Each structure stands twice: as structure tokens, then as C-alpha cells.
Amino acid sequence: MQQFTFTITDPQGIHARPAGLLVKEASQFESDISLQCNGKSGDAKRIFSVMGLSVLSGATVTVTAEGKDEDAAIHTLELFFKENF
Amino acid sequence: MITIQGQGVCGGVAFGKLLHLKKAGSKIPRTYIQDTQKEWKRFEEARKSAEQQLDDLYQKAIGEVGEENAMIFEIHRMMLEDPDYLDSVKTIIQEQRLNAESAVSITADTFSEMFASMDNSYMQARGADVKDISQRILSILTDEGRLRLSSHAPVIIGAEDLAPSETVEMDKSGILAFVTEKGSSSSHTAILARTMNSPAVIGAVGIMESTYDGADIIVDGFSGKIYVDPDMQTVLTMQKKKEQTDRQTELLSKLKGVKPITKDGQSVLLYANIGSLSDMALVYANDGMGVGLFRSEFLYLGRKTYPSEEEQFSIYKSVLQKAMGKRVVIRTLDIGADKQADYFAMPQEDNPAMGVRAVRLCLTRPAVFKTQLRALYRASMFGKLAIMVPMITSLDEVLQVKDLMKEVREELRQEHLTFREDCEFGIMIETPAAAIICDKLAPEVDFFSIGTNDLTQYTLAVDRQNPDATAFLNPHHTAILRLIDTVIKAAHQAGIWAGICGELAGDLELTELFLAMEVDELSVSPNQILPLKQKILSCNISQIRETALNLLK
């Protein structure tokens, strides 16, 4: 299991467009990828699940990957978060 | 050939296929099914077609609006592939044995409620996306008109009536003309058609006959006639008429850039009435000198929650930026009467036209009003903004509004947010009360704008939404014309400007009279600007002043 924690600085939080991009990124990997925020957990490969977390600006998100390609997944997603949120 | 006689509300001739627009949600068939596997397959096939449509839309949108904006169609596609969404549909089909249509509609409600319950307005708005994708599948399942609209060749829209929120949602590029069974000449169908410059006929009883869906028809917006399956003779006659109209349009385009000044040198400001940001393009296309009425209620309609200050600010800012220094009169919230939004949770009113609407709603819900005022003032930095408040009936209301405005400016100052101190404040004169005491109101404001639609309805005591009463709705009534004259005189006495922004402003039969009254501004639908300019250019007011003013006697 691999994970990282990130604080969202984008004023709109994880809104629709980047949520869609995130799902796209996460779906490339075989590993199970989840997001934890405000005591809730969501599946990073499911758009409704990601949007359902309603991650606002300033929130802290923990991204966890578990599976064969977990290292690559976490590496890619960490870069993705830095660029987009 | 069948001829249907209605009332033409926007001139022009259109040839095309009739597409019946049925009310969404009104006819989702709820049935119990035996073969759940077959039903799931039906859903899956509909979903595949929906995905195909979204792919096409995405590709098309990339070319038109760029990849960033096109992304929404990708997200819609992802939503259609979301396992949670699919599980919900599947469970309902398998366990409740309901048909695919019901399963989709129940799932749409569940998911959009999830978004609606979030405390972030951006996410709340995503509920509309869920509804949208579900509607897309439902349209395929029920073969409903709404969707065929976006994926087929241009059509003529037929409907019972059109609600303001429906007109907002509509993709207007594929629409040749409108025909409705109900409505009156100042209803939303008529206003929308005029804005888009499409032929429109209302009160066309019989047009929703189911066998006419998909039929070839001709709409004559001048005579109000609709020809279903026209014969050769009619086609030829109407083609000739269409050519003539097109020539007229061509001629008018030559008037672009010419200032609206009468032969004897009297000038008038020619502004446009618009209802959305995208209409700004029409203002330029038709040579508008500014915006005389921006209907802000379109921000409040067709959604689930109040628009936030930021949301409003960014739209007002864009409008002002697009206007490039031209005056933009934004009318504050005019919800109530025929324009309703559920989340306002308005108590049922027996007579909403005389109920708690417009400024009355603003004064009873100052928080909602102040949010809008804050957004407006903040946006004032980006252009020449004028704030206009509708439905005034008393001096006290004007003073209350001014107090709230003062409060808002004070708050902004304390927060170190900038706004323009010289931002104009005006009121609509659209009640007989306001017109009668306008001399008392004038010293308190920077301008008057006469809203003739409501002024007519309230003065003549005729409900403008009631098609049967239209015969009694005479906007040329001497009472109306005298009130307009009173208002313009009082404005000039107080040294402020006065305009007309109702339907009457574009009535070419009255242009000479209005000019004789020395009206300062006329604001009309964008497509009425050029015909009105042509009329103004042909007038010689000093010669006809007395004759024109005879209409007041």
C-alpha cells in the first residue's frame, strides 16, 4: 500500500473538470485507488464517488493505492494533484 | 394540406419539419416487466447510443469552444460509465422489476439529490449534469423529441407552451421557428423568438396533433398561418414571401453604423433587451448602442439553488466587459408571477401577478437582494453599469432600496472591495401607481425605464398570460400613451433620462409619437433595432409633432 497527503489550494476545490481528469488518470492503473477527505472515503475511478466527496479548497486529501502498480499510481497521481489542485 | 390559424408574434417565413417538444418527465412510462435481463439490455443499448452522442458532441465542441470547455461532455460520458450509477439502475430493474425508463428516472433523482445536499454551490449545480445524462438516455428509450433536437437538421419547434427555464436550456442553433398552442404576444415564446429573430406563431390550436410530429410545415410569422403538408401552390407563394423578407433583412444590414437621428436632427439612444450573456453577440450584430434591459432573472431560473455572489459577479463582469464601455442596464431580480423558481419556496398565490414579486420579494428577502447588489456593485468596475429595480409602486420602496444599496456600498468599502461611485440607479415604471407619482420618484433616481408590458396589463386590468383576454389587451390605449407622456415629462422636469424597454418600444406605429414626446432611449429585442432605426431615420418630427400628439387626445 502506498499513499500521500495533499492540501487543495485550487479555489474551486476538486470541481467537475479536474474530477473528470482525475478519474481518467486513476483508471489507467490496475490498483485500487481511494481518496479520503473529511472522514469520508471515495473510489478515485468513479466520477460520482469523487464528486460526492465534495472536496473544497483548503481540504486535506489522502490518496491511497493498493495493488500491483501502486508505486507508479501514487507517483503519477501526486504529480497530477500538484499540477491541478 | 391543412391550414392552422394562430397569432404571428415574430415575422418571417420558415420551411421545415415540425418537432413536437413534450414536457420532460410528464410521460415517463412506469411499468413492471417480466424479463429483467432483456430490460437491462434495452438500457445498455440506450446507454451506448448516449455515449456515442456524447463522443460526437465532444469532438464537435473541441472544434468550437476548445478542449477545456468541451470537457463537460467527457464528464457526462464518465457519469454514464460510473459503476454506482449503473448499479443503481440495475438493482431497480432486477429487484423492483421496473422498466428501464423508471429505473433511470429514479436513479437520476437519487444522484441529483446527493449533489443538491452538498454545501458547495458548484457541486449543487452538478445535479443538473446527472439530470442531463439521464434525460439523454430517457430520450433514447422513449424516442422523445428533446434529444432529436440537438442531433438532427434544423427544425420548427412545436409545443403547448414554453417555460422560461425551457427556453434557457434550448440549443437555439437548430431552431427555424416556433409554434405553440398557448401563450400571448408578450409570453416567453414570443420574446425568445424575437431575440433570435425566428418566425413564431402562438395560439396555433391543433398543432400538437400527434400525426403532425415530423410533418413538413411552413410557418408564416406575419399572417400567423401554419401550413401542414403544404401543396405546390402554397410552397411557391410562400417561397416568394420568404425571398422578400430576406431582401428586407439584407437592406437593414446596410443601416449598420448609421446613427439613429431623425431628418430634423433629433437623436435617440437605441438599446437592446437581452436575457443572457450569449445575447451580447446579437447586440453587436444588430448595432445596439448599449443594453437597455438585461433580465437578470435568467440567472435564477432553471436551477435548484440561489446563484452565489461569485457566480453572479462573474456573469455581470463578463456582460460589462463584452459591452466595451457601452451602457448596460441590469434589472434586478424579477422573480414571481409567470417566472417561478422552486427553491424560492414561494407560497402558492392565487394571483401571483399581483403578489410578492420583483422588488417586493427583494424587500421581504433582503439577504437575497443584497447578494445581487454586492455582485452588481463589484462588477461595476468593469464597465458602465446602471442598476434598475422593477415593479416599484411607491416612494417608500425606492427609499428602502436606496437604503439597502447604501448598506451594501458601506460593506464593500469596509471590506476594501472596489466599485464605481457613479454607477447609475434607475427604476422601471410599470405600474399605474409609479406612473402617476413619477414626479415624486424622479428626484430620487438617475433614470426611468417604462416597462410597457406590465404597465399595460396593470392599467387595463388584463392578464397578459391569458390568451382569451388578449383581445382586450390594447397597448395603444390612450390611458397607456398618456401615462408614458406623463413619465417622460416628469423625468425631463427633474433632469433625468427616460426610456421605454417594453414591447411597445419596438412598435413602429408609435415611433413618431414617442419621438414627439422626446423619449431619450428605446430598448428593444436585438432584431428590432434595425427596423426601428430605419423608421427613426425617415421621421421629421417638427413637421408631424402635432399630428402625432393627437393620439393622446
Q: CATH code at B174?
A: 3.50.30.10
B68 with B165, same domain: the answer is no
B122–A47 CB contact, under 8 Å: no
Q: What is the CATH number of the domain that holds B306?
A: 3.20.20.60
pLDDT greater than 70 at residue B146: no
- Put simply, the answer to whether A20 touches B120 (Cβ < 8 Å) is no
| Domain at A2-84, CATH from 3.30.1340.10, 3.30.420.340, 2.60.260.20, 3.10.129.10 | 3.30.1340.10
The x, y and z cell numbers of residue B501, run together, are 424597454
With 80 as the cut, is the pLDDT of residue B344 above it?
yes
Selection from B449, B380, B446, B445 nearest residue B408 by Cα: B380
| d(C-alpha B190, C-alpha B183), whole Å | 8
- Among B273-277, B412-416, B453-457, the least confident range: B273-277
pLDDT of residue B54: 83
- Is residue A54 a contact partner of residue B119, using CB atoms and an 8 Å limit? yes
Averaged pLDDT, B462-482: 91
Pick the more confident residue, B205 or A57.
B205
SS3 B181: coil
Q: Mark whether B63 and B190 lie in a shared domain.
A: no
Chain B partners within 8 Å of A52 (Cβ): 114
Report the phi/psi class of residue B224: left, alpha or beta, with left for phi > 0 and alpha for psi in -120 to 50: left
Structural domain span for residue B59? 36-143
Identify which of A23, A4, A1, A22 has the alpha carbon closest to the alpha carbon of residue A62: A4
Rg over alpha carbons for chain B, rounded to the nearest Å, is 25
Q: Which three cell numbers stand for residue B12?
A: 418571417
For B414-475, give the DSSP string.
Answer: HTT----TT-EEEEEE-SHHHHHTHHHHGGG-SEEEE-HHHHHHHHHT--TT-GGGGGG--T
CB contact under 8 A, B120 and A54: yes
Residue among A46, A49, A54 minimizing CB distance to B118: A54
The number of folded domains in chain B is 3
DSSP string, B33-82: -S-HHHHHHHHHHHHHHHHHHHHHHHHHHHHHH-HHHHHHHHHHHHHHH-
- Across the strands, what pairs with B448? B427, B498
Tell me the percentage of chain B whose pLDDT exceeds 90.
Answer: 53
Q: Where are the alpha helices (DSSP H) in B216-258?
A: 232-253
- Whether residues B373 and B438 share a domain: the answer is yes
Among B185, B216, B251, give the residue marking a domain's end: B251
The answer on pLDDT for B338 being more than 80 is no
* B247 plus B354 within the same structural domain: no
**Per-residue pLDDT tens digits for B51-76:** 888 887 787 667 655 676 677 778 88
Contacts of B74 (CB under 8 A, 6+ apart): A20, A24, B54, B58
> How far is it, in rounded angstroms, from Cα B402 to Cα B399?
5
CA count, 13 A, side-chain hemisphere, B417? 14
Largest CA distance in chain B: 82
Confidence (pLDDT) at B197: 72
Residues B282 and B135 grouped into a single domain:
no
Indicate whether B158 and B117 sit together in one domain.
no
Q: pLDDT per residue over B223-263, tens digit each? A: 899 999 999 999 999 999 898 887 777 777 788 889 999 99
pLDDT of residue B57: 75
Residue B527 within a domain: yes
Q: Is B37 left (phi over 0), alpha (psi -120 to 50) or beta?
A: alpha
B27 assigned to some structural domain:
no
- From B122's Cα to the closest Cα of chain A, the distance in A is 7
Contact between A46 and B82 using a beta-carbon 8 Å cutoff? yes
Task: Please indicate, yes or no, whether residues B228 and B287 belong to a single structural domain of this protein.
Answer: no
Residues B262 and B242 in one domain: no
Band the pLDDT of B125: cuts 50, 70, 90: low
Q: Which residue has the higher pLDDT, B336 or B506?
A: B506
Give the domain ranges of chain A.
2-84
Q: How many CB pairs under 8 A join A and B?
A: 47
- Together in a domain, B247 and B289: no
CA B383: distance to chain centroid?
A: 23
A13/B122 Cβ within 8 A: yes
DSSP tag of B32 = B
Domain co-membership, B74 together with B193: no
Query: What's the first-to-final CA gap in chain A, in angstroms?
Result: 23
Instruction: Give chain A's contact residues with B (Cβ, < 8 Å).
Output: 12-13, 15-17, 19-21, 23-24, 46-49, 51-52, 54, 56
ipTM attached to this prediction: 0.82
B89 and B100 Cβ atoms separated by less than 8 Å: yes
Indicate which of A24, A37, A47, A49 best probes the interface with B, i.e. most B CBs within 10 Å of its own CB: A47
CA-based nearest residue in chain B for residue A42: B84
Q: Is B471 exposed, middle or buried (0-12, 13-18, 19+ CB in 10 A)?
A: exposed
* Number of other CB atoms surrounding residue B28 within 10 Å: 16
Residue A54 neighbours by CB under 8 Å, 6+ apart: A13, B118, B119, B120, B123
For the stretch B397-442, pLDDT in tens is 999 999 999 999 999 999 999 999 999 999 999 999 999 999 999 9
Same structural domain, B204 and B351: no
H or E element at residue B499? strand B497-500
For the question of residue B501 being annotated catalytic, the response is yes
If pLDDT is split at 50, 70 and 90, which confidence band does B352 have? confident
Alpha-carbon span B298 to A43, nearest angstrom: 36
CA distances to B6, B143, B148, B157, B162 from B22, in Å: 20, 11, 12, 10, 10
pLDDT at B466 over 90: no
Instruction: Calculate helix-pair angle for B83-96, B36-65, nearest 10 degrees.
Output: 150
Burial level of B87, CB count in 10 A (0-12/13-18/19+)? exposed
Residue B148 has pLDDT above 50, yes or no: no
Q: Which of residues B233, B251, B269 is at a domain's end?
A: B251
Cell numbers for B324: 466595451
Residues B70 and B216 in one domain: no
Pairing of strands B225-228, B384-389: unpaired
